Amino acid sequence: MPDTQALVNDFLNKLKKRKIEGSQATAKQTAELLRSVISQTRVPYTNQAAALIQSVKAVGEGLIAANPVELAVGNVVRRVLHIIREEDLSLTTAAMAGLNLSAVSDDEDDVDGDNQPVLSAAAIAAASRSTLRPPSLQTLLEDVPDSAAVPHTSSSGGDSEGKSKSADKSSRSRKLKHDVIEAVNELIQDINTCHEQIAEQAVEHIHQNEVILTLGSSRTVLEFLCAAKEKKRSFRVFVAEGAPRYQGHLLAKELVTRGLQTTLITDSAIFAMISRVNMVIVGAHAVMANGGVIAPVGLNMVALAAQKHAVPFVVLAGSHKLCPLYPHHPEVLLNELRSPSELLDFGEFSDCLDFGSGIGAPLLHVVNPTFDYVPPKLVSLFITDTGGHNPSYIAEIYQLFVMSLRGEDMKFKSEIMKTNCIAGGNLVKS
Amino acid sequence: MSFPILMKPLPLSLKDFNFIAEANKSNAPGGAASSKSVKQPPQKKDGPPVASSVAASERGVDRPVEKERKKDLPPPRMQFDDESRVGKAKRRSLLNQPEARNRVELFRHLPPHKNGSQLPYLESKFFELHEMHPSVYKVGLQYLTGDTSGGNARCIAMLQAFQEAIRDYSTPPEKTLNRDLTSKIGGFVSFLIECRPLSMSMGNAIRFLKSRIARLPLTLSESEAKAALCSDIDRFINEKIVLADKVILRHAATKIRDGDVLLTYGSSCVVEMILLYAHEIGKQFRVVVVDSRPMLEGQKLLRRLVAKGLSCTYTQLNAISYVMHEVTRVFLGASSIFSNGTVYSRVGTAPVAMVAHAFHVPVLVCCEAYKFHERVQLDSICFNELGDPDAVSKVPGRVDVNYLDNLTDKQKENLQLLNLKYDATPSDYISVIVTDYGMIPPTSVPVIVREYRKEYLLI
């Protein structure tokens, strides 16, 4: 698959050089890339799901390693793997139902024993009920004893039905890929339309004569506010500029173009103004499994100020940002430091950057982190494309999701976390 | 002999002083006596009329005489949404004030910023202002352009300019030194207010000066009186600022241990002195300098600290949650501390104190006692100073982020820019205030204001 490989390499380069801005764009491109990987993967007659999973995992690990801080990549990879398994399961159950075989495991199960659940009738029924939706507790409880007990009834049964099944399998193999690609297309569609779905909920939260505060620039927030404006709610927005990227200026320009009364303030004035603000609405970079938020730098300060003044702190996040990882030391491990030239002009400060003291260590360090961690207790509400949620509910969703994932799907995350721990501190006190 | 006792209730404004002087002129034969008598009422109600006349001159406009006033209430400040008063102020003002476009509604009660573009206009008026002393004029220009900033620096510059003016002063015939000089000082103060609103430290210093003038014994000759006033001013600067800073240094240095990571925000002269002093006496520590737009004062502090060999980390305000993990102490300066313990200081101090409090890092505010004030303030909106709004939209030195150049009129109509200069930090975030009276908790500020006011203001 030379052209896929070229695509993958190209994408890897972009991720490493941080050329792709924003988790929505990253998620979309990751999904499209995986779709082409899947369509290019040659699947054997037997065990196609495993082959697909293998190829997706191989690419996925590389993508995640290229930019560990961009959690949307990992989220999409995990969801695609989940899709593959689910589609395979539903196809198998349909096939089983069609062939009228009750307690026979496929050949795939033999080879791939720990991967696939044993297909008891109850499990088939259960599995067919839950395809791409987050699994309910009931299905999980039914799945668990099945995967624990692994009776391979064996390849002995396989031979005689082998030939009759092979025809089915070949059609099934094409169908599996087809289904998976369709589901991935749906995923891409979801990623594309997450803004609209979130914006639809705007009118429930913004009423007349409100004052809203936001920091930096997020496309979700922009669409959200404009949707409320469309519904003829008149409100004012305070935009904090969000140094050192100053994306607040961009957002302010967009908002005034669409006719909203906007006031641009500096970040230092946030605490001063927040007593007159009704609601803080911000976007997020990623939402972690405990309900904590990885957000652009400065938002922890805003969240603390909002808590002090009892102002609701609302986070808008598309579902591709919801990450099943638990954050350990997120300020350091899930953060990136940007160039100091955004804060200090090198030309002006070149004399201070000499190695002054005897051991040769520079006297002046400049710290310019990209992200901030907001703990879940400071967030009042998450608005995602599936509706509004409490931070503790996000944690619950992810407990369920994590339980439904296979152990190996989570593995590359723990590897990443380990390498981050070893690489250790981008600590200030180096 | 009946003295023409003026039963005018407080406060006496500038116009009233002129009126009294003219009344004296008309009673020529009883001139000396009546001047004495008129002096009685001001001296009896020494505290409040001085305070209120300070307030009146701080506003620089005529105030209608008010019927009743409790002695202890500080007079309210000039509110700029009052049309009639603003109109009068404009007529008397020296600066050409263009109509500020797109003022933020919430801050209509504050005077709009006067930017440096007024400078050529003011310079051209130099020879027309016979009432103004050149050194006061110079100080005013320095305030206007921002060359002199910071509570202590502005106060010292102003007092030294007043010293010069007093030395060059000579009492006109038929006037008494006290009242005429007081009215002259009032005129200077109103000019300075037009250049830039007074800081609390300056307000207290003016109050001190006026009380000294009013307390001058009548037996002194003019030159003796002037010499006494100049030495009083020197004493004020020396005791209340210079020596007070030395005491603060000693106290604060005891709170710095080896291995500390100290965080400071913006550029406070007292904190800078503390850090340099602690470094001199050999303590090993690191400094984190937090800075913010649009003034970027931290860069100047950073340069001075690195030049002296302290190892520093520089960051901007948004990253404060990132650096606060390893900070052990936070040192902040203040422009003033109010009687409810609220610290009034450069905008951005409040979020620093809040985040430090959330991370359980002690916050030490270093402030001389002469900056304490009996007012109270709950939030940063009721009283503040507006800065140049264009400084928010323009980012100097970064052409790639100038998104707000070339806005259409329709866009400009909806966009307002807000540049605040000060904010109010609630007292619960402050662990201790280091003053020349020692290290006090924020709740002790009204005690010092009440018990030691005469002493700390040398009234």
Q: How confident is the model over B19-61, as pLDDT tens digits?
A: 433 444 444 343 333 333 333 333 333 334 333 444 444 443 3
pLDDT computed for residue A104 by the predictor: 45
Q: Does the beta-carbon distance from A262 to B415 stay under 8 Å?
A: yes
Q: Is B83 helix (H, G, I), strand (E, B) or coil?
A: helix
Instruction: Note which residues in 389-428 of chain B have CB less than 8 A from chain A.
Output: 392-393, 395, 397-398, 401, 403-404, 407, 410-420, 423-424
CB A341 within 8 A of CB B400: no
In sequence order, what DSSP letters do the residues of B109-149 get, joined into one string? Answer: TSPPP--GGGHHHHHHTGGG-TTS-HHHHHHHHHHHHTSS-
Using the CB atoms, write b or e for B21-42: b if 16+ within 10 Å: beebeeeeebeeebbebbbebb
Q: Please count the other Cβ atoms lying within 10 Å of the Cβ belonging to residue A137.
A: 9
- Going by the DSSP 8-state scheme, the letter that residue B236 receives in this structure is H
Is omega for the bond preceding A391 within 30 degrees of 0, making it cis?
no
Contact B330, B364 (CB under 8 A): yes
Cα B95 from Cα B395, distance rounded (Å): 27
- What pLDDT shows up at residue A155? 39
Name every chain B residue with its beta carbon within 8 A of the beta carbon of A250.
Answer: 403
Cβ of residue A272 closer than 8 Å to a chain B Cβ: yes
CA distances from residue B88 to B82, B101, B191, B197 in whole angstroms, order as listed:
10, 20, 15, 17
Is the minimum CB–CB distance between A345 and chain B shorter than 8 Å?
A: yes
pLDDT at position B248: 96
Task: Flag the least confident range among A394-398, B296-300, B368-372.
Answer: A394-398
Yes or no, beta carbons of A265 and B392 under 8 Å apart: yes
Is A270 part of the contact surface with chain B (CB cutoff 8 Å)?
Answer: yes
- pLDDT of residue B379 exceeding 80, the answer is yes
Residues of chain A with pLDDT under 70: 1-2, 99-173, 352-361, 399-430
Q: Is A259 on the interface with B (CB under 8 A)?
A: yes
Q: What is the pLDDT of residue B411?
A: 79
The verdict on B328 touching A (C-beta cutoff 8 Å) is no
State whether B416 and A250 contact (CB < 8 Å): no
* Interface residue A372 vs chain B (CB under 8 A): yes
Q: Where are the domains of chain B?
A: 113-242, 254-385+420-457
Average of per-residue pLDDT values in chain B: 79
Read off the pLDDT of residues B383-394 as tens digits, 9 standing for 90 and up: 999 988 888 888
User: Is A157 exposed, middle or buried (CB count within 10 Å of its CB: 0-12, 13-18, 19+)?
Assistant: middle
Helix axes B14-26, B177-195, angle to 10 degrees: 150
Query: Which B residues 345-364 touch A at CB under 8 Å?
Result: 347-348, 350-351, 354-355, 358
Q: Is the peptide bond before A362 cis (omega within 30 degrees of 0)?
A: no
Whether residues A243 and B292 touch (CB distance < 8 A) is answered with: yes
Q: Which of residues 87-126 of B touch A (CB under 8 A)?
A: 104, 106
CATH number of B254-385+420-457: 3.40.50.10470
Chain B positions touching A243 (Cβ under 8 A) are: 292-293, 316-318
Burial class (CB in 10 A: 0-12, 13-18, 19+), B189: buried
pLDDT grade for B64, boundaries at 50, 70 and 90: very low
CA dist list (Å): B331 to A294, B36, B186, B348:
29, 51, 36, 13
Tell me if A272 and B379 make a contact (CB, 8 A cut-off). Answer: yes
Please tell me whether residue A223 adopts helix, strand or coil conformation: helix
Residue B270 has a pLDDT of 95
A337 touches chain B (CB under 8 A): no
Chain B: closest CA distance from residue A41 (Å): 43
Residue from the list A262, A266, A364 with its beta carbon closest to the beta carbon of B314: A364
Q: Which is more confident, B218 or A196?
A: A196
Q: Provide, for chain A, the percentages of residues in helix, strand and coil under a 3-state DSSP scheme, each rounded to the nearest 5.
A: 55, 10, 30
- Identify which of A368, A148, A292 has the alpha carbon closest to the alpha carbon of residue B318: A368
CB-nearest partner of A364 from B294, B306, B318: B306
Beta carbon pairs, A and B, within 8 Å: 199
A181 lies within 8 A of chain B by CB = no
State the DSSP string of B306-340: HHTT-EEEEEEGGGHHHHGGG--EEEEE-SEE-TT
Amino acid at B332: L
Residue B1 has pLDDT above 50, yes or no: no
pLDDT for the residue numbered B86: 63
Sorting pLDDT into bands at 50, 70 and 90, what band is B100?
low
- Mutation site for B-interface testing, chosen from A271, A278, A368, A372 by largest number of B Cβ within 10 Å: A271
Chain A residues in contact with B416 (beta carbon < 8 A) = 261-264
Chain A environment of B104 (Cβ under 8 Å): 263
The rounded distance, in Å, linking the Cα atoms of A159 and B308 is 85
Q: How far apart are CA B221 and CA B215, in angstroms?
A: 14
Residues of B in Cβ contact (< 8 Å) with A222: none
pLDDT at A145: 42
Instruction: Tell the burial category of B48 from Cβ atoms under 10 Å away from its Cβ (0-12, 13-18, 19+).
Output: middle
The answer to whether the CB atoms of A256 and B411 lie below 8 A apart is yes
* Average pLDDT over every residue of B452-456: 72
Checking if the pLDDT of B349 tops 90, the result is yes
Can you identify the CATH homologous superfamily of domain B113-242? translation initiation factor eif-2b, domain 1 (1.20.120.420)
Distance of CA A146 to the CA centre of its chain: 29
Q: pTM of the predicted model, to two decimals? A: 0.79
pLDDT tens figures, B124-167:
776 666 678 889 989 998 988 888 888 899 999 999 999 999 99
Token readout for B263 is 């965080």
Rounded to 5 degrees, φ, ψ at B439 are -100, 115
How many C-beta atoms lie closer than 10 Å to residue A197's C-beta? Answer: 17
Number of Cβ within 10 Å of residue B125's Cβ equals 14
Radius of gyration of chain A (CA): 25
What whole-number distance in Å separates Cα of residue B152 and Cα of residue B273? 13
Query: Which of A245, A352, A367 is the closest to B319 by Cβ?
Result: A367
Q: CA–CA separation, B323 vs B312, rounded Å?
A: 12
Band of pLDDT at residue B114, cut at 50, 70 and 90? confident
Q: Are A238 and B392 in contact (CB under 8 A)?
A: no
* pLDDT for B357: 96
Average pLDDT over residues B70-97: 60
Which pLDDT band holds residue B97 (cuts at 50, 70, 90)?
low
Cis amide leading into B294 (omega within 30): yes
pLDDT at B249: 95
The 3-class secondary structure across A366-427, one letter per residue, is ECCECEEEECHHHCCEEEECCEEECHHHHHHHHHHHHHHCCHHHHHHHHHHHHHHHHHCCCC
> Rounded to the nearest 5°, which phi and psi values hold at A239?
-110, 125
Let me know the angle formed at the C-alpha of B443 by B442 and B445, rounded to the nearest 5 degrees. Answer: 75
Question: Cβ B347–A272 below 8 Å, yes or no?
Answer: yes
Q: B254-385+420-457: same fold as B113-242?
A: no
β partners of residue A238 = A213, A263
The whole-angstrom distance between residue B33's C-alpha and the CA centroid of its chain comes to: 38
